Amino acid sequence: MEIKVRKVKKDDLKELWEISYGDKADLKWTEFDGPYFQDPILSWEEYQTGFGAGLVNNPHRSLIEVDGKIIGLLGAFWQDSPMNYWLEIGIGIYDVNYWSKGIGKQALTEWMDYLFELYPRIERVGFTTWSGNPGMMKLGQKIGMKEEAVIRKVRFWKDKYWDSVKYGVLREEWDSKS
């Protein structure tokens, strides 16, 4: 299995939309990706002129491919813009058949290496998930991140309160893992 992380090109948008929101999407991923926000399922028109348009040639977005097939997306954003010292990341693997196979670990590790190289001045990279997404919490631990905070019972979904959970890794921790 060849796993590749690469920049998003305009020609990738239709395929990426198909697996995330289109007819080929099973949408299981939406049950774990902040479902309490109740983000809409985007039409092709909305995607290509909105979210999708912002992916192309963006240094903070990359595709995840397995054996030449697009299966997901990596992202990064500044939590403290415009100062730009607090970088947060995300990962989405849209096809459930690729979950729990080590793909996320390899892709996210490559993404973290890239981000620490791209921004030599930053000292930490992190992400926020929720207690209803145990896969993401395990992924953070597998790549060497530490649980930094639990904000208890602040996410409401399916008539239940869930915790918001923050993970992070410092540059020196990341550099010493190899």
**118-129: per-residue pLDDT in tens?**
999 999 999 999
Mean predicted confidence (pLDDT) in 70-96: 97
* Model confidence pLDDT, tens digit, residues 102-111: 999 999 999 9
Q: Which two tokens stand for residue 126?
A: 């992190």
What confidence score (pLDDT) does residue 178 get? 61
Give the mean pLDDT of 91-115: 97
Q: What is the pLDDT of residues 7-59, one digit of tens each?
A: 999 999 999 999 999 998 999 999 999 999 999 999 999 999 999 999 999 99
What pTM does this model have? 0.94
List the domain range (segments joined by +) for residue 137: 3-176
CA nearest neighbour of 130 among 104, 167, 105, 102: 167
**In the chain, how many domains are there?**
1
Percent of the chain beyond pLDDT 70? 99
pLDDT at 24: 81
CATH number at residue 46: 3.40.630.30
* Gap between the Cα atoms of 49 and 173, Å rounded: 39
163, burial (CB in 10 Å: exposed 0-12, middle 13-18, buried 19+)? middle
